[in-house]
Amino acid sequence: MVPSSFVGLELDLLSYELSENTVLLVQDVSTLVGGMPAYDGSGDDAAWIIVAACADAADVFDATTVEVAVVSAVDPPSDLDERIDDREFDDAVSCDDGRTFR
């Protein structure tokens, strides 16, 4: 599956599927939707929505590194889906260091 196929979904749907050898880089961009950053990797990944993603392979299941930007799934803004569709958050992931697949 291409990285962008996980955009708009909860983070746990991606993190559950990744190989234990895959590095998952998570950027909390809640400030872009009026929230406070709170992702620390220790909570429930289902509480976070992926708004942008890239990887170092076209299929995330073959990737060694995946980078995502997330916002809290608790009370997300009503226009979040539209903003995702407009690719407003694409720049929230760096997609450098070989992570050129979206």
What's the pLDDT at 98? 63
Range of the domain at 40: 3-92
* Residue 101 per-residue DSSP state: B
Q: Does residue 34 belong to any structural domain of this protein?
A: yes
Q: Does residue 85 belong to any structural domain of this protein?
A: yes
pTM summary value: 0.92
Q: Does residue 57 belong to any structural domain of this protein?
A: yes
Q: Does residue 38 belong to any structural domain of this protein?
A: yes
Q: Does residue 20 belong to any structural domain of this protein?
A: yes
Contacts for 82 with CB less than 8 Å, ≥ 6 apart? none
* Tokens 């990744």, located at residue: 18
Q: What's the total number of domains in the chain?
A: 1
Q: Which of 50-54, 58-62, 67-71 bottoms out in mean pLDDT, i.e. has the lowest?
A: 58-62
pLDDT in tens, 30-55: 999 999 999 998 889 999 999 999 99
